[in-house]
Amino acid sequence: MTEKKQKDWAALAKMPKFVELHSKKKAFLLTLWCLGSIMFYLLPICAGYAPDFMKVKVFGRLNVCYFFCLIEFAMTWAIALYYTHKSNTYFDPLTREVLAEIARGEHA
Amino acid sequence: MKRLLILLIFSLAICPLAYAAPATDVAGKPASTVPSTTAAGPSQAPAAVSPAVQNAASAQVQAPLAKEVKTNKTITMSMFMVIIFFTGMIVVRAAKSTKTTADYYAAGGGISGLQNGWAIAGDYLSAATFLGIAGITSMFGADGFMYAVGPFFSFVTILLVIAEPCRNAGKYTLGDILSLRSTSKVVRGTAALSAVVVSTFYLLGQMVGAGKLMQLLLGIPYNVSVIGVGVLMILYVTFGGMKATTWVQIIKAFLLMMSGTTITVLLLWKFGFNLFDFYDAVASSPSVQNHVRGLLKHATPVSGFDYGQRFLEPGLLLKDPLDQISLGMAFALGAAGLPHIMMRFFTVPNAQAARKSVVISMVLIGAFMIMVTIIGFGAALFISPQQITAVDKGGNMAAPMIAQYVGGGAGSIGGDMFLAFVCAVAFSTIIAVVSGLILAVSAAVAHDFYVNVLKDGKTDQNKQLKIAKISAFVIGAVAIVLGIACEKQNVAHLVVLAFAVVASSNFPVILFALFWKRFNAGGIVTGLTVGALFAIGVVVVSPTMTYPKKIAADAKKVVDLLETKQASGVALAEKDLKALEKARADYVKNKDGKSLVGLDAPLFPLKNPAILSVPVGFLAAIAGTFLFGSRREEEMFDELYIRQNTGYGIADATDH
């Protein structure tokens, strides 16, 4: 992995396209991660501090707790799908543009 | 009681640990419901005694519960042979194409996203998930479902933070990524050490679990099964490397999904695929209601209390909310930094494939987790929690037993076949997970430590490969020895520790290395060491350890209770007499004891240190960065940052 020629990484990092890519990506990942985490910690918090809420029956014998757990699963899948969608339609093309720009710089 | 119960979960959740032994002793000795010499040591006794006392009345009325699962030895053995044969074939095939270190550590980057997704699911669905979570659900109802959410959620962190940057920036190990931030050898050495320590905890838990499980499933002695599993692993890893490990994982994940789906479908079929009817039946089952009453310690039924419904409500097992949050934290952040999971991302050609593989594994694992909890509830309904705990205190046999039941019951060909199949799948699960761990440790030792720290990265391919294989061999041998030495130890806390250590050392360091410009060698080394040591330190003074004085106090309570009963003129049942004898012995043995570090009672109130040690790990990494700053390393950030975001230079990483 040793670089054959020393690159000016600092200059590359200042490329507008790259700045756009990483700042957008960072904000996106952070938001998604925080939202997911809040939902995740809500489950034990509710179970521990609001047990009566968790015991409310929703359908038949099934209670809030059961559906809460199911929602956690559904949410995790939703995060995965949303992230994949966003990456495929937005981040990947942008990444390719950045890489193309770096390559142009090398040949110039 | 509460703490002991939590201790119980950990043991059975993470791997089929120490509790497998007593009730289903190989020799089939007439085990009492009161465990005599459990592998977990005396700490388990009080937990087991009190329900036993309360259930005594009902147990006497009912027919005696079977103490072990009747397996058809011929069918079971042939299933195992088939598994060993097929995995062996894979290893032989993979061995032919494993020529370079890239082949050995990362299957030459030639695993597709789909394949890797199945393999990650395989890595993640250990015997613990399958047998353990089914067991918890069958014994504690809704808490089993809540418990399953934690390990599953960890994939959000893996997907968003770890998978793509790692594939983009790394080569084989965590050390590779960190060395892009600092050329210091200390950094690489620390990273290697951390991987070895964490994986060893995990490995030890798996090895002891494997031994116990084989004992339970097949009736082979503990030592023989540990050696057998260990030798098989060493052969697989040294010859087949990552390619074989990956394929074994894929096949195992497939078999696991298949058996999980079959059991679930057969179970729900009985209820016309109506979940409401199914749960209604679970909650209406008298044995479940009885079991819940025992758990709640209601000596006589409280009128108007719906014990069946209580089984579907949380809190039978996970009682301390803070502990639960702490455990959730360890799962959510810890799984992301586990060396053997991280290594999987280096086997795919690019970030897109890494992403795809995580999403696929999330679908598989999520579906499987939900099925496992249904299997657990089904086991509670059809097998009864009492019968499950009679066979194995940890509930590990819930899934195999329900498999036998839905296959047609004990003695029928269908039942025996299905039971044998599920046991064989559990076995392949152990093989696959242990192989992955051994490979991860060998990468840390050979690639990070030997090649890059000792030899400055200047060794030729053949030599590197040889070193990698030798280290895998040595690690496997060490794992066997430790596994045998720890038979009687309660290793449950080691696995808990592995997650907590990773969450508080590796995770902050990876996160900062990838996203914080000022982060440097000082931060890496301080974060890794302080985070890990602190987490270990907290566990050592936490209730996870054994506190003889506490055991003595519990034993004393049992003695008092039974003696009062005796004094009031009630003749004690044989079971109670045994319990009394045992409690007296426990009291005498433990009344002057101290914990490992000489404490009478835990200093830290929670089982899991994550809630405290994760912030400490982060702070240590930040403090280290500011104390030992270096301008040059800050400049290196740009390179890593471009690489991890774009995958630039990834071609160098694959052909090197």
ipTM comes to 0.88
pLDDT at B24: 33
Q: Would the pTM count as exceeding 0.90? A: no
CA distance B304 to B133: 30
Contact across the interface for B160 and A33, Cβ inside 8 Å: yes
pLDDT at B34: 33
Rounded alpha-carbon distances, angstroms, from residue B287 to B53, B180, B320: 16, 59, 26
Ranked by mean pLDDT, the top range of A63-77, B122-136, B284-298, B321-335 is A63-77
Contact across the interface for A54 and B314, Cβ inside 8 Å: yes
- The residue of B152, B282, B313 whose CB has the most chain A CBs within 10 angstroms, and thus the best one to mutate to test that interface, is B313
**Nearest residue to B248 via CA among B476, B427, B441, B467:** B427
CA distance B216 to B26: 7
Contact across the interface for B156 and A76, Cβ inside 8 Å: yes
Identity of the residue numbered B372: V
Q: Are B547 and B599 in contact (CB under 8 A)?
A: yes
Contact across the interface for B641 and A36, Cβ inside 8 Å: no
Helix (H, G, I), strand (E, B) or coil at A57: strand
Q: Are B357 and B348 in contact (CB under 8 A)?
A: yes
User: A94 to chain B: nearest residue by CA?
Assistant: B646
Burial class of residue A85, CB neighbours in 10 A (0-12, 13-18, 19+): exposed
Contact across the interface for A99 and B161, Cβ inside 8 Å: no
The 3-state DSSP composition of chain A as helix, strand, coil percent (nearest 5) reads 80, 5, 15
User: A11 or B626, which is more confident?
Assistant: B626
pLDDT at B630: 67
pLDDT at B53: 38
Least CB-CB distance to B321: which of A29, A48, A69?
A48
Q: Are B607 and B6 in contact (CB under 8 A)?
A: yes
User: B176 to chain A: nearest residue by CA?
Assistant: A1
Token code pair at residue B591:
């009344």
pLDDT digits (tens, 9 = 90+) for B353-389: 889 999 999 999 999 999 999 999 999 999 989 888 8
Tell me which chain A residues have a C-beta less than 8 angstroms from the C-beta of B156: 32-33, 36-37, 40, 76, 79-80
- As a whole number, the mean pLDDT across chain A is 85
Least CB-CB distance to B315: which of A10, A36, A47?
A47
pLDDT at B272 over 70: yes
User: B34 or B278, which is more confident?
Assistant: B278
Tell me which chain A residues have a C-beta less than 8 angstroms from the C-beta of B157: 33
Alpha carbon B70 to chain centroid distance? 26
User: A25 to chain B: nearest residue by CA?
Assistant: B645
pLDDT at B618 over 90: yes
Least CB-CB distance to B645: which of A3, A22, A73?
A22
Token code pair at residue B540:
């050592």
The alpha-carbon gap from B595 to the nearest alpha carbon of chain A, in Å, equals 29
Which phi and psi (to 5°) does residue A43 adopt?
-65, -60
Contact across the interface for A7 and B142, Cβ inside 8 Å: no
CA distance B524 to B190: 9
Tell me which chain B residues have a C-beta less than 8 angstroms from the C-beta of A63: 142, 309, 312-313
pLDDT digits (tens, 9 = 90+) for B165-210: 888 887 788 888 888 777 778 888 898 898 888 888 888 888 888 8
User: B366 to chain A: nearest residue by CA?
Assistant: A73
CA distance B586 to B132: 28
pLDDT digits (tens, 9 = 90+) for B301-316: 888 888 888 898 888 8
pLDDT at B650: 60
- As a whole number, the mean pLDDT across chain B is 79
User: B652 or B32, which is more confident?
Assistant: B652
Contact across the interface for A1 and B315, Cβ inside 8 Å: no
CA distance B546 to B594: 8
Instruction: Point out which residues pair with A63 in neighbouring strands.
Output: A57
Least CB-CB distance to A32: which of B142, B160, B639?
B160
Instruction: Point out which residues pair with A57 in neighbouring strands.
Output: A63
Token code pair at residue B242:
């990552």
Identity of the residue numbered A104: R
Q: Are B405 and B134 in contact (CB under 8 A)?
A: no
User: B282 to chain A: nearest residue by CA?
Assistant: A61
Please give the DSSP secondary-structure letter assigned to residue B70.
-
- The residue of A24, A28, A33, A40 whose CB has the most chain B CBs within 10 angstroms, and thus the best one to mutate to test that interface, is A40
Ordered DSSP codes for B247-263: HHHHHHHHHHHHHHHHH
What do you get for the CA distance between the two ends of chain A, in Å?
23
Identity of the residue numbered B499: F
Tell me which chain B residues have a C-beta less than 8 angstroms from the C-beta of A84: 355-356, 359
Tell me which chain B residues have a C-beta less than 8 angstroms from the C-beta of A83: 159-160, 355
pLDDT at A33: 92
The alpha-carbon gap from A12 to the nearest alpha carbon of chain B, in Å, equals 8
Contact across the interface for A69 and B148, Cβ inside 8 Å: yes
CA distance B36 to B62: 22
pLDDT at A72: 92
Helix (H, G, I), strand (E, B) or coil at A59: strand
pLDDT at A108 over 60: no
User: B644 to chain A: nearest residue by CA?
Assistant: A22
Close Cβ partners of A30 (under 8 Å, ≥ 6 residues apart): none
Buried b (16+ CB within 10 A) or exposed e, B37-51: ebbbbbbbbbbbbbb
User: A30 or B557, which is more confident?
Assistant: A30
Least confident of B243-247, B300-304, B468-472: B300-304
Rounded alpha-carbon distances, angstroms, from residue B224 to B80, B210, B221, B356, B476: 15, 11, 5, 40, 15
Contact across the interface for B635 and A92, Cβ inside 8 Å: no
Least CB-CB distance to A33: which of B156, B279, B636?
B156
Least confident of B460-469, B528-537, B580-589: B580-589
Which phi and psi (to 5°) does residue B547 adopt?
-115, 100
Tell me which chain A residues have a C-beta less than 8 angstroms from the C-beta of B188: none
Rounded alpha-carbon distances, angstroms, from residue B339 to B2, B40, B106: 33, 28, 13
Query: Could you tell me the pLDDT band of residue B78, with boundaries at 50, 70 and 90?
Result: confident
Token code pair at residue B246:
């990956």
Helix (H, G, I), strand (E, B) or coil at B22: coil
pLDDT at B163: 86
Contact across the interface for B155 and A76, Cβ inside 8 Å: yes
CA distance B55 to B39: 23
Please report, rounded to a whole number, the percentage of residues in chain B having pLDDT higher than 70.
87
pLDDT at A6: 58
Contact across the interface for B159 and A83, Cβ inside 8 Å: yes
Helix (H, G, I), strand (E, B) or coil at A63: strand
Helix (H, G, I), strand (E, B) or coil at B316: coil
pLDDT at B50: 39
Rounded alpha-carbon distances, angstroms, from residue B80 to B75, B282, B417, B424, B638: 9, 33, 12, 5, 52
Query: Could you tell me the pLDDT band of residue B493, with boundaries at 50, 70 and 90?
Result: low
Contact across the interface for B515 and A60, Cβ inside 8 Å: no
Close Cβ partners of B604 (under 8 Å, ≥ 6 residues apart): B538, B541, B542, B543, B612
Chains A and B: how many Cβ contacts under 8 Å?
162
Please report, rounded to a whole number, the percentage of residues in chain B having pLDDT higher than 90.
13
CA distance A38 to A51: 18
Instruction: Find the length of chain A.
Output: 108
pLDDT at B653: 41
pLDDT at B545 over 80: no
- The residue of B280, B326, B646, B652 whose CB has the most chain A CBs within 10 angstroms, and thus the best one to mutate to test that interface, is B646
Contact across the interface for B646 and A95, Cβ inside 8 Å: yes
pLDDT digits (tens, 9 = 90+) for B28-53: 333 333 333 333 333 333 333 334 33
pLDDT at B28: 34
The alpha-carbon gap from A76 to the nearest alpha carbon of chain B, in Å, equals 7
Which alpha helices (H) appear in B300-350, and where do they start and end?
Answer: 307-311, 321-334, 339-342
In angstroms, how far apart are the furthest CA atoms of chain A? 70
pLDDT at B485: 85
Contact across the interface for B152 and A73, Cβ inside 8 Å: yes
